Amino acid sequence: MFLEPHFKGQRSGWIEVICGSMFSGKTEELIRRLKRAKIANQKVEIFKPKVDTRFDERKVVSHDKNSILAMPISHSKKLLDITEGIGVVGIDEAQFFDSDLPEVCQAMALRGKRVIVAGLDMDFRGQPFGPMPDLLAVAEYITKVHAICQHCGNLATHSYRLAADGNTVLLGEKDSYEARCRTCYHMGNILNLRVRESESLRK
């Protein structure tokens, strides 16, 4: 389990990234860290991209209903103006932010803030998602959380999409995605490909 670092002398800022597939508990881990910072009397705020509108506009809502108020932001650069005086900056659904987010997080860390970023590391195609790979490269601390594969019970790293829609920004819920291990994820993609091939042959 991640424990907050201790400092000798001058305290500086840093970046933590919590990543993983859908249903891996990223938001729960973000909330856990922010609640601990709150108990330590630090000023805490959470932000999320404006595109993520499922459930409630103002809340970071995780699947277990453990929620904290969050502010929707249209562009990551706005964070530089509105985080004055905030010691711990939480960012949820970071994969949907623009490509300036890694630079913005580094600027906030240089200003002495603890920046905790949670997001999907891969999209449903198994590709690195939005600004996440760059964030992983510049972070001091990385935690990859795992879901459980809904097919075989092994650790899951991939988000398998059940819906046949070409849009990556399809906001995930239980009926459109499954957490899968690498093998079950690829087996599903091969099966889907075969179904599509046989459908196109019938046309």
Q: Which residues belong to the active site?
A: 93
Rounded to whole angstroms, the Cα distance separating 25 from 148 reads 11
| Residue 51 DSSP SS3 | coil
Could you tell me how far CA 190 lies from the centroid of its own chain?
A: 27
Which residue number, 112 or 153, has a Cβ lying nearer to Zn ion?
153
Residue from 119, 118, 130, 117 nearest 168 by CA: 130
Smallest gap from Cβ 33 to Zn ion, in A, equals 29
Which residue number, 22 or 91, has a Cβ lying nearer to Zn ion?
22
Write out the residues near Zn ion by the rule CB under 5 A: 149, 151-152, 154, 181, 184
**Residue reference for tokens 């800022």:** 13
Smallest gap from Cβ 158 to Zn ion, in A, equals 9
Which residue number, 107 or 155, has a Cβ lying nearer to Zn ion?
155
Q: Mention every residue, 6+ apart, whose C-beta is less than 8 A from residue 37.
A: 4, 44, 87, 88, 114
H or E element at residue 135: helix 132-138
Smallest gap from Cβ 157 to Zn ion, in A, equals 10
Could you tell me how far CA 109 lies from the centroid of its own chain?
A: 19
H or E element at residue 102: helix 101-110
Which residue number, 24 or 83, has a Cβ lying nearer to Zn ion?
24
